């Protein structure tokens, strides 16, 4: 599987994401529908919780709830039949003081999870493109 470094993948995604990317129903199918998304999200969170670079940021957090919310978010972003909810990324992350390296570590884990799930490379990039604008709200450190 071809692989971009997280920072490079995000840079490519960010450079391509103005104006804001629209929802794309085909991407939902390419990610394997809801079952595929749940598999990717579960794997991403499990990898991140075990990742010494960012494990601390998942401390005192309900992992099952987090997985459910992220899966719903990916479902919505990729054009799936999930309601948009939540308060935005800023309020949920600002207290953590996350740095760019932390964000990149999470993206790396997401890429590994998508590789493991057999997600097509183009679909990976498209999902990263949709997620990239959130970096501005998440990285505050």
Partner 1 sequence: MKRRPSLASTLALAAVELAALGASAQQVVAVSQKKRAFEPREVEINLGDSLLFVNDDGELLHHVHSKDPRFPFDIGEQPAGTRVPVRFTARGTFEVRCEIHPRMLLEVRVR
Q: State which residue, 94 or 136, has the beta carbon closest to partner 1.
A: 94
Which residue among 14, 92, 117, 134 contacts partner 1 (CB under 8 A)?
Answer: 92
Q: What distances in angstroms separate CA 17 from CA 13, 56, 65, 79, 132, one per listed residue? A: 6, 30, 29, 16, 8
Which residue among 81, 90, 97, 141 contacts partner 1 (CB under 8 A)?
Answer: 90
Distance of alpha carbon 52 from alpha carbon 102, whole angstroms = 10
Interacting positions 58-77 with partner 1 (CB under 8 A)? 60-62, 65
Distance of alpha carbon 116 from alpha carbon 101, whole angstroms = 22
| 140 scored as a contact of partner 1 (CB under 8 A) | no
Which residues are at the interface with partner 1 (CB under 8 A)? Answer: 60-62, 65, 87, 90-92, 94-95
């Amino acid at each position: 599987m071809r692989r971009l470094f997280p920072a490079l993948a995000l840079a490519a995604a960010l450079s391509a994401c103005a104006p804001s990317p629209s929802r794309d129903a085909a991407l939902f199918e390419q990610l394997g529908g809801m079952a595929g998304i749940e598999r990717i999200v579960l794997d991403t969170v499990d990898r991140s919780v075990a990742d010494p670079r960012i494990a601390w940021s998942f401390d005192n957090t309900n992992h099952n709830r987090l997985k459910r919310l992220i899966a719903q978010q990916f479902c919505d972003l990729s054009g799936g039949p999930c309601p948009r909810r939540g308060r935005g990324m800023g309020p949920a992350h600002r207290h953590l003081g996350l740095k760019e390296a932390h964000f990149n570590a999470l993206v790396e884990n997401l890429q590994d999870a998508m590789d493991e799930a057999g997600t097509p490379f183009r679909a990976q990039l498209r999902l990263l493109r949709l997620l990239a604008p959130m970096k501005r709200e998440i990285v505050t450190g």
